[in-house]
Structures are given as structure tokens and as C-alpha cells.
Amino acid sequence: MRRKASFMAAIAVVALALAPALAEARRGGGFSSGSRGTRTYQAPPPTTTAPGGATQMQRTQTAPPAATAGAATAGTAAAGAAAARTGMRGGLMGGLLGAGLFGMILGAGLFGGIGGFASILGLLLQVALIGGVIWLVMRMIRGRREATAGGPPNAYARDMQSGGNPRPMMGGAMGAPRGPMAAAAAPEVATAPLQIAEADYQEFERNLHAVNEAWTRQDLEALRRLSTPEMTNYFANDLKDLRARGWTNATSGTRLLAGDLSEAWQENGQHFATVAMRYSIVDVTTDATGKVVEGHPSEPQVVTELLTYTRFPGEAWRLSAIQQTG
């Protein structure tokens, strides 16, 4: 019975270890990855094809807005300070109680009689004085920080609290500066609506087919032409992980079933378009022996994703982000 329980536990451990690997096998790793310019941290508007919207980016090289990063840093610092204060108080009281218990063990009573009680009382008075000084210093520091860190709240946080969603082809995106984060929020980057023509939709569909085919061939040169350097880097790492496991992922028979525009805009002379696509695809992963570990070699599955494409005027559209549906 014990051997059977150990065997079942081992199976559970292996299953848990392989679960992420199975989820990461198909193109894009099943993650929401990439960048959408200054709207990377904004949820794209839902569409008829993807009414549930998209999940947040799990892999992106775009730095978060300064206001958001500053708030997170301030929250972490406050939590650390509170933990430090709690630890100091807990350590002091623990030391006092420990000393009392030690005195009981030696037969001197909880605090060693009258003399011990006087010593403890004097110690408490000293601690109260020191604590008062520390409290005054911390209050002064906190007041200076609040005076320095004042400013308008993050625009995206306000939108989330009010329950509003950005509408398609509207401006008002938030800034996403790169490099070291400043203490104050960076100015918003001006955006403008972008018209998407029928030829653009046809190019999006061709890119969908071409990226899946290049992924199956493990053709990084083709993926570099079809996607941004960031997305190419994710593809390369995902292929490397598959090879490390001795697995091969292949897709075929991509067929677009439905698609519509979520939003399109331009910023700093660069065009962006996020499109919801529902398509069928044969997606199968095999191990070194040819055994199927995920998917089916002939039965298609239906996938819905929000794909963001980007270009500079006069250039071809390239895949900039893949987001899974919510």
C-alpha cells in the first residue's frame, strides 16, 4: 500500500512538472506576449470575434508607465517599513517574555522579584523614550515623502476604477518610457486614429499563415521578416525550449474563420492595429520518437487570439504582439 502511494505521488509530481511544458508547446507558447506601443498596458477593446477581451501581457519588453512603477515601489517600501516596525516590536516583546520565562526557570519568579520588576520598568521607560523619538523621525520623513510624491494619479488606474474601456480608434494612450523610471509620470504620447483598408486585412491574414508556416519550419530568418525583434526573440526561445525537451511542434491547415478590428492608431510616426482572429489549425507536438504529446495530427482545433501588427509608413505590417482571449 505504501509503495502504491509513493508511486502515485511520483506520477503527480511528474504531471505537475509537465503541465507547464504542455501548455507552452504551441506557437507563442500560449502566452500573451509582445508590445502594443504606448497601449501595451491597456486592454484592447473587445470585439464580436473576441467578446471576452484579451489577457494582460505576460511577456513584454515595454517598460510600465512611470506612475504605476512609482506607486508599486512606494507600496513595497511602505510594506517593508511596516514589517520592520512589526519585527522590532515583536522582537522586543519576545525578548522581554523570554527573559521572564528564563527567570522563572531559575526560580527567580517571572521578573526576578521586586528588583527585577524595577529593572524591567526602567527598561520599558527607556524603550518608550526611544520609541517616541523614532516615531517623530518617521513622521517627519513620511511627511516629506508625501509632499514630494504628490501629483495626479495614473490615468489607466482611473479608467479601471471607473469601469470604462477605451473605444476603437480613439486617442488618449498613456506613455511608456524606456530606461530608468522617473519619479513623476512621463507626458502622454500623442496618438491619432488610423484607417485600416481591405488590403491591410488581407495582409494580416497572409501574415497569420506565414508566421505559422515559418514556426513549423523553425525558420528564424522568415520570422524576423514577419515579426518585430521582440516577437522573434520569444519565438526563438520557445523553439529552444522545445528542442531541449526533445519535442517538435508543427502546425498546418490554418484557415481564418472570423476576424474584426479592435483598434488602430498611430504614434510617433508608427502605425499599430490590433485585430481579433478566430481560426482553425492543426496543431500537434511530438517527442523524439514521434509520439504525440499534445494536439492531434489531423484534427483541427479552433483558436481565438488578438494579434497586434505594426509598421512604419511604406513598410509591410509585422506581428508585434499575440494576446490570448480572456
User: What is the pLDDT averaged over residues 174-192?
Assistant: 50
> How far is Cα of residue 40 from the mean position of the Cα atoms in its chain?
11
Residue 63 contacts residue 37 (beta carbons within 8 Å): no
Looking at every residue in the chain, the average pLDDT score rounds to 74
Instruction: For the chain, give percent helix, strand, coil, nearest 5.
Output: 45, 20, 30
Q: Report pLDDT for 204.
A: 98
Q: Report pLDDT for 20.
A: 44
Q: Report pLDDT for 262.
A: 98
User: What is the pLDDT averaged over residues 99-126?
Assistant: 52
Residue 215 contacts residue 27 (beta carbons within 8 Å): yes
Residue 225 pLDDT more than 80?
yes
Nearest alpha carbon to residue 304 among 269, 278, 274, 275? 278
> What number of other Cβ atoms are within 10 A of residue 311's Cβ?
17
Task: With both helix axes pointing from N to C terminus, report the angle between 113-148 and 66-105 in degrees, rounded to the nearest 10.
Answer: 180
pTM as predicted: 0.61
Residue 214 pLDDT more than 90?
yes
> Strands, E, within 41-80: which ranges?
none
Residue that the C-alpha cell 494580416 belongs to: 204
Residue 138 pLDDT more than 70?
no
Q: Report pLDDT for 65.
A: 85
From residue 1, alpha-carbon distances to 6, 7, 9, 14, 204 in Å are 9, 10, 12, 20, 58
Residue-wise over 83-92: b if at least 16 C-beta within 10 A, else e? Answer: eeeeeeeeee
Q: Report pLDDT for 326.
A: 81
Between 232 and 164, residue with greater pLDDT = 232
Q: Report pLDDT for 141.
A: 56
User: What is the pLDDT averaged over residues 178-199?
Assistant: 68
Nearest alpha carbon to residue 135 among 85, 79, 83, 75? 85
> How far is Cα of residue 256 from the mean position of the Cα atoms in its chain?
28
pLDDT digits (tens, 9 = 90+) for 238-254: 999 999 999 999 999 99
